Amino acid sequence: MTDLRTKRPRTLWLGRDSSTRSEESRSSTEPNTEETPKPIPATNNRSDITLFNCYEENPWSVYEPRAKICRKQPITLAQHRKHRQNIVHIRCLPIDRPQVQSLLETIRRLSHPIFPRLLESYYHTGELHLIWEPMEITLNYILTAQWPVNETELAYILRSTLDGIRFLRDQGRALAILEAETILLDRRGHVRLAGVEQSYPISASDMNAETLRLTALATITRSLMATGAGQVRWSSKVRAFLEDLTTKSLDELMQVSGQLRDGAIVGNRVLGYISRSSNGRKRSKAVRPCCEQKSQKRSCITLTGLDSMASIII
């Protein structure tokens, strides 16, 4: 896993030189939400050498907790105490020390662009602290904001999610849970699936729409389609695909998904979010035409107006 403790160039953080900030560690492990740091730019580069170092030390001596992420599973947005530009998500798992290496090996074996990248890990007082690259928002925020998703965006979300499900299926595993809170978008708008560390082995005879989370994906799809009620006219192919999610095999679904509107042009409409700020201002939404954006080589939903990580902070 990438060691974030290597020397980094000096950076400006929130308009101030980071070299002037105090490097003293806080004794408290409670998040400090007075300021919201900027996240590390997301990347799809998985070519880095993965090291399986699990540091036997308190992660909060290395990272400063800044906020609790609004998800079903407790995740902390944290900032490296020395290299202030390094922003991460930290998840704590109660686990016995002999099981740590096996879990880390499983995460390594299941490495895939659809899952967030594990950067490093720490074991302290009976808990494994997994240090993940930061994500920007979850689909749940799109549903909560009632943002009307269009067909190209829906096609991209579906194909990306099915690709992750199929990858795990081919490894003889399945997601323990799939819901709007566990489908993530990074800062560049790429879809990521949370929970690879909790995926579980499953036999081929037990694989079905329920255990492979296709039924759950159908529920999420209905919710996304409902956000466009009265504004988006769904094609017959999309409506048929929704029904297919619970009746056809995963391989058939992957073939049929290619008939949906080309997700490669999903950037034609830009989703923008400016989240609630700490002073209680109302959340606003913005859209900007594709012609105002730089060309994109990858399919994605592009997010703008996300003032650092505020959109996922309680």
Residue with tokens 């490894």: 171
Task: Fill in the DSSP letter of residue 251.
Answer: H
Residue 238 has pLDDT above 80, yes or no: yes
Q: Per-residue pLDDT tens for 49-76? A: 344 679 999 999 999 999 887 566 778 9
Query: What percentage of the chain has pLDDT greater than the value 70?
Result: 65
**CA nearest to 67, candidates 17, 104, 30, 110:** 30
- The yes-or-no verdict on residue 29 having pLDDT over 70 is no
Structure confidence at residue 72 (pLDDT): 66
At 131 the pLDDT is 96
SS3 content of the chain, % helix, strand, coil (to 5): 30, 20, 50
Residue 199 CA to its chain's centroid (Å): 16
pLDDT at 110 over 90: yes
Which of these ranges, 42-51, 99-108, 163-172, 178-187, has the smallest mean pLDDT?
42-51
Locate 138 and state its tokens: 């979850």
Give pLDDT, residue 1: 53
Q: How far apart are CA 161 and CA 164, in angstroms?
A: 5
Query: What is the pLDDT, as a whole number, of residue 20?
Result: 33
Of 10-14, 85-89, 221-225, 228-232, the range with the lowest mean pLDDT is 10-14
44 pLDDT higher than 50:
no
Which position has the token pair 């998840």? Answer: 91
Q: Which domains does the chain have, with CATH numbers?
A: 12-21+28-132 (3.30.200.20), 137-264 (1.10.510.10)
Copy the structure tokens of residue 263: 């997700």
Mean pLDDT score, 263-279: 36
Of the pLDDT bands very low, low, confident and very high (cuts 50, 70, 90), residue 107 is very high
Instruction: Give the whole-angstrom CA distance, residue 234 versus residue 250.
Output: 22
Chain centroid to Cα 214, Å, comes to 19
Q: What pLDDT is recorded for position 18?
A: 34
- Among residues 261, 267, 259, the alpha carbon closest in space to that of 290 is found at 267
Question: Can you count the helices (H) and strands (E) in the chain?
Answer: 6, 16
Using CA atoms, how far residue 286 sits from 150, 269, 271, 276, in Å, is: 15, 11, 7, 14
Determine which of 34-43, 83-92, 157-166 has the lowest per-residue pLDDT on average. Answer: 34-43
d(CA 23, CA 66): 15
Supply the pLDDT for residue 301.
Answer: 56
pLDDT for 141 = 87
* Integer Cα distance of 124 and 105 in angstroms: 19
Highest mean pLDDT among 125-134, 143-152, 283-292: 125-134
Residue 302 phi/psi, 5-degree rounding, is: -85, 130
Inform me whether the pLDDT recorded for 269 exceeds 60: no
Q: Considering only 81-90, 226-235, 277-286, which range has the smallest mean pLDDT? A: 277-286
For residue 311, is pLDDT > 80? Answer: no
Q: The dihedral of CA 180, 182, 187, 190: what is its sign?
A: negative
Provide the phi-psi class of 32: left if phi over 0, else alpha when psi is between -120 and 50, else beta: beta
Q: Please write down the HEC assignment for all residues of 149-217.
A: CCHHHHHHHHHHHHHHHHHHHHCCEECCCCCHHHEEECCCCCEEECCHHHCEECCHHHCCCCCCCHHHH
Tens of pLDDT, residue by residue over 149-182, are 888 899 999 999 999 999 999 999 999 999 999 9
pLDDT of residue 52: 61
What does the mean pLDDT of the chain come to? Answer: 74
| Predicted local distance difference test score (pLDDT) of residue 196 | 96
CB 308 within 8 A of CB 137: no
